[in-house]
A and B are shown apart, each in its own frame.
Chain A
């Protein structure tokens, strides 16, 4: 049961243009969403997050949008730069039966920025 889905395995964008990465989720109890970025041979790095009570959060070139009714979030990168080429993971915070929390990750989208 894939509760967090990134339906595009890859995305190619021209340098300077906007990159839009999408993520869908099924569990309405998720209360916090995060994006992580991963370069080859490195662990994921936290990028930006958003609480479920908000619909937008911005940090420099990165903006995350949350549409709760559609259970959809997206990450916008403007303008895209070659260093943005990486795999991007969407993650959602959920709760386990014993009250503890865990992150549920999507499968990732490989973003390639072309010069």
Chain B
């Protein structure tokens, strides 16, 4: 158990819809990272928040957004969903901003039909 929690575990929704994925980092960790893993792909970095502020941006679509709240939990919002957005979405956390060792949650499997 990494100490990072993600909800929900599974999500099935239709194209055009909007969903919110939630992540609670390990106790004491200030950085939260979001990754997308599509079929047979490695993890693609989407975005990082540190202590409530956006720190780094990767290959995140404009239809996607994220935020980190004062209690350090984070939400990833995916809107105008397309079939290609079906993937595993992982959240990870670390103490600082250096992206060495990160602790991953179990992921949310999103299926867009």
Contact = CB atoms under 8 A, between A and B. Distances in A.
Q: A and B, one complex?
A: yes
B25 interface: no
Interface string B90-113: 101000011111111111000000
Nearest to B88: A43
B74 to A, nearest CB: 15
Contact of B42 (A34, A49, A101, A105): A105
The DSSP consensus for interface residues of chain B is loop
B104 A101 contact: no
Given A43-B106, A44-B90, A102 B42 contact: no
A93 B99 contact: yes
B2 A96 contact: no
Nearest to B58: A102
A86 to B, nearest CB: 13
Number of contact residues on A: which range applies?
Answer: 20 to 34
Interface residues of B, number: 27
In terms of DSSP, what is the predominant structure of the interface of chain A?
strand
Contacts of B90: 43-44
Given A100-B48, A102-B99, A107 B42 contact: yes
Given A44-B43, A44-B90, A103 B102 contact: yes
28 contacts: A4-B42, A34-B100, A36-B104, A42-B107, A43-B2, A43-B4, A43-B92, A43-B105, A43-B107, A44-B43, A44-B104, A45-B104, A46-B102, A46-B103, A49-B101, A93-B99, A96-B58, A98-B56, A100-B56, A100-B97, A101-B97, A101-B98, A102-B56, A104-B45, A105-B42, A105-B43, A107-B42, A108-B42
